Structure 1
Amino acid sequence: MDIRKSAIGRVRDGMQAMSARDPLPRLMTQLIERAGGTVLVERAASRPWASALFQGRRHIIALTLAGPDAAERSAAFAEGIEEAEWMLSGHFVADIRIDSRHPAPDGERMELSALTIEDW
């Protein structure tokens, strides 16, 4: 799926079929805004997660930032992502990290993982 910053609404609309308890669509919207420019969503999946005290979801996301400035955008995207504030009503991001980041023929490819917890 080819996503441009101006098309974030289409991503949000396309992901509304997912469970209302899954914050992935809202997180994806914010990640795409953070990346800016042209972003290809290669994969975005989530699954339930629970511990003795908390419940939430584990997310795996693969993005390609495309364009001549992809390397610079990728570096800016990655900088400080662990401390970033995410607006997910009913949830909070307990952990987010970039698992891999490398050049691709059409830009910069990265894989992220995140853990969101239900905020009671």
Structure 2
Amino acid sequence: MATIHRDPSRNSWGRGTWARLLGQILALADNRGELLRHAERAWASATFAGTRHTIALTFTGDEALAAGERLIDALPEHEFDISGHLVADAMVCAVEHSLLPEPVLTVELEVLLLEDL
């Protein structure tokens, strides 16, 4: 079962935005990943406001594992299309492989999503 952690202090502009972000990330992996957890926290600089998202996904089985590897390769250069927002940074923070009892790949991503004014 997926565990989703949300910061109650985050601003309301992003309601549902994280789901659109997640949908595009999962599409990069042929919808083979399973959400383990999502955390979101407010982010701001002198000129921009947004949220930083940490997303952990797991891929079980050979085909899913291959899809997860494609996600790892594609994520840093992917052009996201999220209305009213832009992805300023998307990176893979951690990757864990295990082989027994079946191949499993766990990937942790961090994405900085900015409000597009």
TM-score using structure 2 length: 0.79
CA contact (8 A) 2:32 2:68 kept: no
When residues 114 and 76 of structure 1 are mapped into structure 2, their CA distance, relative to the original with a 3 A threshold, is same
TM-fit CA distance, 1:45: 1.6
- Map of 1:119 onto structure 2: 116
Superposed CA RMSD = 2.0
- Map of 1:7 onto structure 2: none
Letter of the structure 2 residue corresponding to residue 60 of structure 1:
T
Question: 1:81, 1:60 → 2: CA distance?
Answer: 14
For structure 2, list consecutive stretches of 5 or more residues without a partner in the other structure.
3-11
CA contact (8 A) 1:99 1:112 kept: yes
Letter of the structure 2 residue corresponding to residue 117 of structure 1:
L
Aligned residues: 105
Identity %: 35
Question: 2:14, 2:68 → 1: CA distance?
Answer: 29
Residues 1:25 and 2:22 aligned together:
no
TM-fit CA distance, 1:50: 0.4
For structure 1, list consecutive stretches of 5 or more residues without a partner in the other structure.
3-18
TM-score using structure 1 length: 0.77
